[in-house]
Amino acid sequence: MLTISQRAEMMPMSPIRKLAPLAEQAKDRGIKVYHLNIGQPDLPTPKEGLEALKHITRTTLEYSPSEGFFSYRKKLTHYYNKYNISLSPEDIIITTGGSEAVLFAFMTCLNPGDEIIMPEPGYANYKSFAIAAGAKIKTIATTIEEGFALPKVEEFEKLINQQTKAIMICNPNNPTGYLYTRREMNQIRDLVSKYNLYLFSDEVYREFIYTGSPYISAFHLDGIEQNVILIDSVSKRYSECGIRIGALITKNEKVREAVMKFCQARLSPPLLGQIVAEASMDAGPEYNMACYEDYVERRKCLIDGLNRIPGVYSPIPMGAFYTVAKLPVDDAEKFCAWCLTDFEYEGETIMLAPAAGFYVTPQAGHDEVRIAYVLKNADLNRALLILRKALECYNPKK
């Protein structure tokens, strides 16, 4: 019989994209939809990156090396140096987005049945890649009430058993915007070291930290250099989500050699994306500063606005460009769908990502949504007004 594999059955629909067909239908009805569901910044790509496309002189768009262009990997070492991360080009493998880096890390380091400890809520697609590798995610609960801070180390240790092979973090965090403290990172380091685990650290939002607290990379932690696998991407840094250029970075040579076999099987990362990413690094500090200032303003606009809506609560995210907010609804997924199917305010509506998809524990986050602040302030303010009106209409008796 023609059956679908168990892993495919288990794979979740993306909580970010699953309501997309409803949004398309709303647009077909002539309704304008504000997309707060997806981390697709509206900020411009560096002009250096866009210009590079216009100056391509090659006449054949050929394969690039499976590990990515040497010149690009070399240039990346200078970038990481600025963050006090010392790398050689050999430590860096270019991937098709950060997504492929996560997939390859899991496929390389984890056997079916192996377990990864991960704080929840967490980036939803980690779950998908774990299922693809047959690995299991065990979650450490963090809560909106405690601002998504990590629980005590004992909570981690309760989960550690023979099958535990790795801890995965995203720092600054998607979806919560949480930034791990020095104390928390040391706690993770000690666990990784004590149990000799892999530490998968997704740090694609390092440009976007809004507090005075320092960014502690997994590579800043002493004594676990062989355990760390860093996931990176230019998608957010340069507003280049579409070019699909990420990186898997590790000083563990055995891991790199194994990852390279997966890289060779898929032949090469995107050629054009690498050209754009490499050229984008020539953008001056004013590019990142302008983006940063935009996000600071948007964050203020969104969080202030959310907390002024009756029944809505959002902590203040310290990094990235998301927040997880609690809504006064029984089921945020139903509400998000309803906004697209049954609601409009002056011909407009909003699309939010139900937060339940970012949790592994059933029922957790059922009244929460993830909101990306990737729109201009005027649009954010409009979206906030629509959210307020939608909640009034959805909860008429409250």
Binders of a copy of itself in range 282-301 (CB under 8 A):
none
Binding to a copy of itself (CB under 8 A): which residues in 58-87? 59-66
CA distances from 225 to 8, 38, 182, 196, 263 (A): 34, 33, 17, 11, 22
Which of 69, 16, 14 lies closest to 245 in space, CA to CA?
A: 69
Task: Give how many residues touch a copy of itself by CB under 8 A.
Answer: 84
**Residue 250 interacts with a copy of itself (CB under 8 A): yes or no:** no
Query: Which of residues 27, 44, 86, 296 is near a copy of itself by CB under 8 A?
Result: 44
Binding to a copy of itself (CB under 8 A): which residues in 259-278? 259, 261-262, 264-273, 276
Q: Bridge-partner residues for 58, per DSSP?
A: none
Contact yes or no for 374/42 (Cβ under 8 A): yes
Query: Which of residues 26, 72, 128, 249 is near a copy of itself by CB under 8 A?
Result: 128
Binding to a copy of itself (CB under 8 A): which residues in 335-394? none
Binding to a copy of itself (CB under 8 A): which residues in 186-225? 196, 198
Nearer of residues 73 and 244 to a copy of itself, judged by Cβ: 244
| Sheet hosting strand 246-249, strand order edge to edge | 92-95, 246-249, 228-233, 198-202, 164-170, 115-120, 136-141
Phi, psi dihedrals of residue 38, rounded to the nearest 5°: -125, 145
Determine how many CB atoms are found less than 10 A away from the CB of residue 267. Answer: 10
**Residue 108 interacts with a copy of itself (CB under 8 A): yes or no:** yes
**Residue 41 interacts with a copy of itself (CB under 8 A): yes or no:** yes
Nearer of residues 216 and 234 to a copy of itself, judged by Cβ: 234
| Cβ-Cβ contacts under 8 Å for 50 (sequence gap 6 or more) | 276
Q: C-beta of 38: minimal distance to a copy of itself in Å?
A: 7
Q: What is the DSSP annotation of 252-268? A: -HHHHHHHHHHHHHT--
269-296 burial: b if 16+ Cβ within 10 Å, else e: bbeebbbbbbbbbebeeebeeebeebbe
**Residue 244 interacts with a copy of itself (CB under 8 A): yes or no:** yes
Nearer of residues 227 and 314 to a copy of itself, judged by Cβ: 227
From the list 127-135, 298-306, 307-315, 337-345, the region that binds a copy of itself by CB under 8 A is 127-135
- The 146-185 contact track toward a copy of itself, x by CB under 8 A, reads -------------------x--------------------
Pairing of β 115-120 and β 164-170: parallel
Query: Which of residues 28, 30, 54, 397 is near a copy of itself by CB under 8 A?
Result: 54
Question: What single DSSP character describes residue 23?
Answer: H
